[in-house]
Every structure is written in C-alpha cells, then in structure tokens.
Amino acid sequence: LDRRLKQIGNFKSIIDISKDFEDYLYKYIRTKHCYIPLSDDEEVPSTIVTVGCFSGQTISGLARKVVAYSLFNSSLSRETIVQFTYNTIMNTTDLTTKQILLKNILLIGGNTLYPGFVERFTKDMKQLVQQEQTQSKLDSHLLEVGIIAPQDRIDQIWKGASLWGSIWC
C-alpha cells in the first residue's frame, strides 16, 4: 500500500526531504486520512493534507486517493483481498470445511484498521457467497458468512505468533 501511495503523491518532487521524513509522511497520510468506501460507486472526496516540516515549510498533497481501496478494486490488482479469501475457502474439498471457514473469517492486522475495511469486506464476501448459492442452487442457509474483527486486531498477529511459539517450544 505504501508503494501505491507513493505512486499517487510524490513528495520528493515537491520539496527536498529525507527518506525517513518521506516515509513518515506516507505513514501519516495512510493511517490518518485514507479509508475504504463501501461500494465502487461511492465518490471518494480528495482531502488536502498539510504536514509541517522542521524547517517551517509545509507540504500539501492529495490524500484519500483510495490507497487502501486497491485491496478491493480488481482493476488495480489481479484479485481483490475478498476474492482471494473466497477462492481459498471455496477450493477446499468438502462442504463442511467450507461452512466452518466461511463462518469464522478472522480479520486481523494493520490494514484491517482502515475505516470501512470490515464493512466492505463483509459486504463483498456476502455478495460472493450469495452468487455461489444462486449459481449452485444451494439452500440460502447452507453457506453463511461470519466475520470476526476484534478491537485489538493490530496486536492479534503477535498474540497468535506468541501462542504458536509457546506450543512448539
């Protein structure tokens, strides 16, 4: 996502700054000003972000150019994160495993913290499952989607790794 943000706004072309400060700017914009729209049709307003430099100068650039949205837009990447998750689950062999996996999708990590991420992921996943049920003529209650998004999902990766490590040590 940082690479996508750097393609959108090139701060180095505006002002001579160090790589560390440039990285800080991208992280600041990504964490404070980007969000994921609920649908492809939703217009995403651009916001001017002004960040003060130590020299007293300010840098203004466009934010909310939907950097995180590239996770959900197949025209910007080969496969969306929802399509990847769905295809991984549906490529399992038996129906029982598919049902268990679909009911227990766990969203963790930093990218899931973008405003709108959980809502958009849930909406798109339910839409894909509904299409599958219609095409396969399955009972509508056979495949249900359950999304788990804990409040502290940024820390869940470390907690899981710690637990996994303690089991095997």
pLDDT exceeds cutoff 50 at 62: no
pLDDT at 63 exceeding the cut of 50: no
The C-alpha angle 109, 118, 26, rounded to 5 degrees, equals 55
Q: Single out the residue of 75, 67, 166, 68 nearest to residue 109, CA to CA.
A: 68
Q: What is the Cα–Cα distance from 5 to 29, expressed in whole angstroms?
A: 9
Per-residue pLDDT tens for 115-124?
888 999 999 9
Single-letter amino acid code for the residue at 55? S
d(CA 22, CA 20): 5
The larger pLDDT score, comparing residue 129 to residue 70, is at 129
